[in-house]
Structure 1
Amino acid sequence: MTKSPEKWGVIYNPKAGTRKVQKRWKEIKEYMDSRNVAYDYVQSEGFGSVERLAGILANNGYHTIVIVGGDGALNDAINGIMNSDAPDKENISLGIIPNGIGNDFANYWDMSDDYKEAVDCIIHGRRRRIDVGTCYYYDGQKHLTRYFLNAINIGLGARIVKVTDQCKRFWGVKPLSYFMALLSLIFERKLHRMHLKINGEHIRGRIMTVCIGSARGYGQVPSAVPYNGWLDVSVIYRPELRQLLSGLWMLIQGRILNHKVVHPYRTQHVKVLRAQNAEVDLDGRILDRHFPLEIGILHEAITLIIPE
């Protein structure tokens, strides 16, 4: 790669999302060329390669790294950048061309799904420093750190994210996808014995799901903002069947914190000491269950290109 300070490093994955991705990438490339954008692009080669490629671009001095993809690809990219040897990570500008299935973080910033508007946003948009969430854990051999931009879900929330993404591939419409996800999980109101520590308070009990978000976390922490140096936490206990239905509707409307089985918190540190048999996901990426988890926040740790 021949790199200049103005050049973008673009990462795309032609196998991600729907069958239209390869065609869409060709259209994106042609539009960037028509706008005289200077860029180098690299192709993802499968799961995990986006993280490696983002690290390579950061180490090679690219100051604008653009991800063509959804929340999962964005999570891989932020981990590649944060784990890179680049001395000025906070000065790397991250651009997003929403693509694929889940684009919750891009939607938070009102980024357009139209690739032309997304490219123009990167050209003309403003730079904003944003927070990066951290998750420290021990995998049995070494201590690891995984970074996130949107949220960590533990328990049913992780299952809903997974099933909703699967439903989106079939149904395409987000509210309908949530509804279909509910139907598939309606009899799976599984509880997990959890032990959390938030703001010095020990929270123990049989809990259905926990969401820890820097951004809105697929609607489960709707008051979270990814630039104030805080994490929002929703601890959701077992609802009755009727409450589950009303809770889904409140989730879609952004009013989940008003549900009586939801206990909200705001903190800078969460310790998950136990979450028996619970799945964990970071921005849609499933994490192998390793407890305890130490979850924190790095204030304004990276730069994001957002609409003007």
Structure 2
Amino acid sequence: MSVEPDKWGVIYNPKAGTRKVQKRWKEIKAYMDSKGVSYDYVQSEGFGSVERLAGILANNGYRTIVVVGGDGALNDAINGIMLSNAEDKENIAIGIIPNGIGNDFAKYWEMSSEYKEAVDCIINNRRRKIDVGTCYYYDGQKHMTRYFLNAINIGLGARIVKITDQCKRFWGVKFLSYFMAFISLIFERKLYRMHLKINGEHIRGRIMTVCIGSAWGYGQAPSAVPYNGWLDVSVIYRPELLQLFSGIWMLMEGRILNHKVVKPYRTQKIKVLRAQNASVDLDGRILDRHFPLDIGVLHEAITLIIPN
């Protein structure tokens, strides 16, 4: 299939919990039309469809793929592109129009949550090569590869993602979702028996949560840079109750690495040999637990359209 070089392939992932699905898309579509954008549009239909659609667009020659969605939809899209048969994946440019409860990766790049400004940013077409995180494991039948742009969370961080997702589906309100997740954080300071290997060092013990960030990982990897070819790792042990509140404040201030119960690392490879009963998520997408996990990074493996 031959596609015009400048034509966008747009994937619209409806925002969870809203009844104004079509109204939102009509507004975005009308604005793109008013700007004379050339595009083809597809709408996701349930879990996994964004990944499939992104792969189809990449295989059919689209070199600007626009995701209208949050971190989870963006993760699906990067997996669809990276697992596609396209030969020049690094030249496929991803545009983001934030449309979800979690937009941490877009916030890292200071992308506007207003769709008009987001569309204008993509039209302006300022491009930056960025890193793509990798996660390899064996699911019992075959070797699997999953990709991420923001972070992998293991333990309580992934539990919070699960709780937030469940709450937003029930409440449909961002504030209440995060509030319920916060309450669970206070009362659930569970520890997980983990065994990690980072830079040749074996780390064993009872750990509350681990964040492996290419970008800032919801504030848990505040020094991470998604284009330097490195991953930042925060290993967080169990805090006392007062330390928990100070930790939340430091997290919000971008100073979590200074907390007493946090041990930071910078690496290009990390092996998770064991994380007993711990949940795992990649950019907000829960991964079935299959250990060991071999986690790495591909330097400048994809292109992102960023603001001026």
- 2:128 corresponds to 1:128: yes
What does residue 303 of structure 2 align with? 303
Partner SS, residue 218 of structure 1: helix
- 2:194 corresponds to 1:200: no
Q: Which amino acid in the other structure matches residue 150 of structure 2?
A: N
What does residue 86 of structure 1 align with? 86
What does residue 38 of structure 1 align with? 38
1:241 Cα offset (Å): 1.1
* Stretch of structure 1 that moved more, 115-124 or 178-187: 178-187
What does residue 47 of structure 1 align with? 47
1:129 Cα offset (Å): 0.1
TM-score normalised over the length of structure 1 = 0.95
1:179 Cα offset (Å): 4.9
- 2:69 corresponds to 1:63: no
* Stretch of structure 1 that moved more, 15-24 or 256-265: 15-24
Deviations 1:69-89 (Å, cap 9, x if unpaired)?
000000000000000000100
Q: Which amino acid in the other structure matches residue 174 of structure 2?
A: G
Deviations 1:13-66 (Å, cap 9, x if unpaired)?
236453333311110000000000000011111100100000000000101000
> Separation in 1 of the partners of 2:207 and 2:110?
33
What does residue 267 of structure 2 align with? 267
CA contact (8 A) 2:2 2:61 kept: no
Partner SS, residue 14 of structure 1: coil
What does residue 276 of structure 1 align with? 276
Deviations 1:171-219 (Å, cap 9, x if unpaired)?
534xx86554221232211110000000000000000000000000000
Q: Which amino acid in the other structure matches residue 269 of structure 1?
A: K
Map 1:140-159 onto structure 2 (within 5 A): 140-159=140-159
* Stretch of structure 1 that moved more, 1-10 or 269-278: 1-10
> Separation in 2 of the partners of 1:62 and 1:13?
18
CA contact (8 A) 1:21 1:99 kept: no
> Separation in 2 of the partners of 1:254 and 1:151?
16
1:244 Cα offset (Å): 1.1
- 2:245 corresponds to 1:245: yes
Q: Which amino acid in the other structure matches residue 23 of structure 2?
A: K
1:279 Cα offset (Å): 0.1
| Matched residue count | 306
1:254 Cα offset (Å): 1.2
Map 1:81-230 onto structure 2 (within 5 A): 81-165=81-165, 171-173=173-175, 178-230=178-230
Partner SS, residue 33 of structure 2: helix
> Separation in 2 of the partners of 1:302 and 1:12?
20
Q: Which amino acid in the other structure matches residue 281 of structure 1?
A: D
Q: Which amino acid in the other structure matches residue 272 of structure 1?
A: V
Map 1:18-33 onto structure 2 (within 5 A): 18-33=18-33
> Separation in 1 of the partners of 2:86 and 2:126?
22
> Separation in 2 of the partners of 1:233 and 1:64?
31
> Separation in 1 of the partners of 2:233 and 2:74?
22
* RMSD over aligned Cα atoms: 1.6
Identity %: 85
> Separation in 2 of the partners of 1:81 and 1:211?
24
TM-score normalised over the length of structure 2 = 0.95
CA contact (8 A) 2:216 2:224 kept: yes
Q: 1:24 and 1:2, CA in 2 relative to 1: closer, same or farther beyond 3 A?
A: farther
CA contact (8 A) 1:194 1:274 kept: yes
* Unaligned segments of structure 2, at least 5 residues: none
Deviations 1:104-147 (Å, cap 9, x if unpaired)?
00000000010000000000041000000000000000000000
- 2:257 corresponds to 1:257: yes
